[in-house]
Amino acid sequence: MKIVFSFAICLFTFAAAAQSPAPKPPTTLKGVLLEQLRTTHNSQDWFASGNTAIHGLTAEQAKWTDGKGNHSVGQLTYHLVFWDKRALMDFKGEKTAQFNGNNDETFNNFTPKQWNDLVKQFDQVMTDWEKAVEAADDATIAKNASLIAHVGTHNAYHIGQIVFVRKEQGSWDPSKGVK
């Protein structure tokens, strides 16, 4: 009797799952790029979003390094904000500030005093990216698709590093999506 009952529950569960519509993947280039930006911003998906990865850290935790020459969460976030803002300005056709090309500066200019503001800046630049892509016409999206895709890929790469640093530090909550 237990086997029949268990089988009936499995069938019911399967039927209910089959009836609930799965979210449809985006079907346009703009939709795919927006999905990529959102998942590296604040939408949970296959990996932790940027907001999730940096949420809840103190300035002291954000400056922590492993002592092996690897970047801190603060340095990685500073780097993301620097490049995301710059790429957004390029996308919008705005003039960017002079940059000497030394990528180390995009990590090493972080100070713990900036941390709370930097968290807000990351959220804002990602929100601004999403709004800009939403408002852009198809021709602008097609012309800038590689740039937008690289922003998402670059963010995902460094968000993975942020989660790794937090795991090493002992400040990562595995219930946030990465065990």
Per-residue pLDDT tens over the stretch 87-146: 999 999 999 999 999 999 999 999 999 999 999 999 999 999 999 999 999 999 999 999
Query: Mean pLDDT throughout 36-46?
Result: 91
Let me know if 21 is exposed, middle or buried by CB neighbors in 10 A (0-12, 13-18, 19+): exposed
Task: Kindly list the structural domains of the chain, giving each domain's residue range(s) and its CATH number in brackets, ordered by start.
Answer: 28-174 (1.20.120.450)
pLDDT at 13: 36
In the chain, pLDDT over 70 holds for what percent of residues? 86
Per-residue tokens: 56 = 């809840």
pLDDT at 85: 98
**What does residue 149 show for φ and ψ, rounded to 5 degrees?**
-60, -40
Considering only residues 175 and 56, tell me which one the structure prediction assigns the higher pLDDT. 56
Residue found under tokens 């500066």: 105
Q: Is the pLDDT of residue 2 over 50?
A: no
Distance CA(3)–CA(6), nearest Å, equals 5
63 — pLDDT class (breaks 50, 70, 90) = very high
